[in-house]
Structure 1
Amino acid sequence: MTRITELFVFQNKIEHTFEIKHPGKGENNVETVILTEIRDENDKFPVEYYMDVESVICYENLCKIVPVRIFWNVMGEYQRYKMINGAALEKYEGEPYTKEDYEKTHQILKNINSPFKTVRIDEILTTVKSHDIVDAVAGETLLEMDEEDTVHGASLTCYTLWHWTHGDIVSKIRDLTGNSFQTKQFERYLTSKKTDQQLFAIEQMTRIMLYNDVLRETLITQVISNNALLLKTLHYVEKTNSSDYFSIVKTLFFKGNKQIRIAMLNSLLKTKHEITTAYFEEFCLNLPNLSSYQEIALFLRLRSQRNLNSKKITDAFLPLLERDLLIARNAYWFLKTQELNHEQQSILNRFFEKYKEQL
């Protein structure tokens, strides 16, 4: 659980106090931290965040613990760290960090997929016996890691700092930034050439449920040219009202590529909104442009699931009998269940005579 407990505002700075978890502190342990938000010169929007943390988690008071300041950008992405109050990091048995060790730690913290993501603290702590007392300390660990993934003799420090950097605080930073954005800022992020900024905008627009014509049209344009936005776009669209949902889905279905069309059909299969026959008939106009068996299969499944039938739907499926056999066979079994006029039945009969051994 993570929650805000206090808020202090200074000139161009806001201090947010949170209670968050660090895996090295134990499953049920909650740590109180202060996140500082640096605002622009107009004191309107965040430009950076930082937090002062302890350099290492140590259970037996045998470690040197020093403060480290970690910096993030407005999307919660790690930027850098620095030592404060003249402190310095140390390795096993008090060996001081070298310049190379500081740079290596920076590279480790930059790696969002570091092995420390899945390492447990008990894999780093070394159990030693001294004067009949068993202590858990940070020492020469038996944990095998590649040379570039840790600082030798300082794995516990790397572990501690990595989880401060990439833990619960990241989502809090993203939400704080999202709360400060308005349509103009979201539009700028949506039209960015950086996919991570576009995804951030969609994520936050979804969270705060911000819907308007400007953002809707901008998002449609962007997702058509960048399918990496498709999954988050679906989450956003599926939370809007019925009218906007059907309008956006139809636009993307007609203007998007195969991947987008499949996503829209899957969304329609899952939606709780009522799909009218007239709406499905409009979709049938795009049947000639469907290029794969998967699209046709989903189309037929949707028709069957919602029990959508009309002369226009039947007419739209008849030309599919002239497509490749896999698609045509699916269309045949659907048409066979429909009430057809004489001409339509003749077309279906000719198809049967030609392919009856393969149906």
Structure 2
Amino acid sequence: MPNAADRRFMRLAIALGRRGLGQVWPNPAVGCVIVRDGRILARGWTQPGGRPHAEAMALAACDARGATAYVSLEPCAHHGRTPPCSDALIGAGVIRVVTALTDPDPRVSGRGHARLRAAGLEVHEGVEASAARDANAGFLLRLEAGRPWLTLKLALTLDGRIATAGGESRWITGPEARRAVHALRARHDAVLVGAGTARADDPDLRVRDLGIARQPVRVVASRKMDLDPNGQLGRTARANPVWMLYGDAQDVPEGWTQTGARLIGCPEQDGTLEPRAMMATLAREGLTRVLCEGGGALGAGLIGAGLVDELVIFGAGKLIGADGRAGLGPLGLDRLADAPKFALCRVQPAGDDICQIWRRR
């Protein structure tokens, strides 16, 4: 039976796996720890681009004969670009495998565990399962619900404004909060903005100064694609990916076809892109974690559709007043009881600002 040491080593494996968030899609971010006689022999996690897998990284760094492998997700059992990790563990002489979750990918889905047991290995499942589900929530949502994990980021004044009446928003928050946003981008597969934000801010949306191997995909939801292709996103689309989501009933402007951006049609509803269809489209393209950075109408649409899993709110000690632009567009609520509900997870400082993290109830 799993013991306290098993739980401790599994928590380490899950923490190692988190290092891959934003870097490994469409694969899961998995961690692996190889232990013999209570001593850690090697550690590994899924590498950028999804290969090598965590188990392969750890096994390559040690002699694993007679050892226990702690893996935050069931080892794969299918041949893809690499051989199955379940076979690698068997071949390395591991005698015991402890996992946190069964992989819902239909190519695995229990086959990895079965292969290990058939080879005579001792297998324990479900150790620290809740923490593992949280770490790979996006991968699991994509397979189980057909959509990515969605984080909505807002930078607000004390009175809930994102810009002055004239549209000035640089900068609501200070440099420490802005750096924290770059770290947030690095942990997501894609950064999503609406057409209004793209027009008003001409954003770059890339991660700066963190030395990551794989930049997030920059996604713009623009039903009419009425954006300047010579802006920052259009000019840099060949260097780092840009995906434009547009209404599938609209004509595609010729300027955007020459930028290198990927143009993806989505269904329309009531004069805007249908939120659930947008998220389903991104999931089909392999994305597991999406960070939405605005604007207010897009954020309201995603919240209203019940698609926002996490709110990250950076609050600044400033006041703009009622003539400023609200952080969210209309939600069409008549009763307070119908308001979307989120539970506070933690509050932390970000220089002179604060960061609040809320999860959907």
Which TM-score bucket, shorter chain as reference? under 0.3
Larger helix proportion of the pair? 1
Instruction: Point out the structure with max Rg over C-alpha.
Output: 1
TM-score, scaled to structure 2: 0.22
TM-score, scaled to structure 1: 0.22
Larger strand proportion of the pair? 2
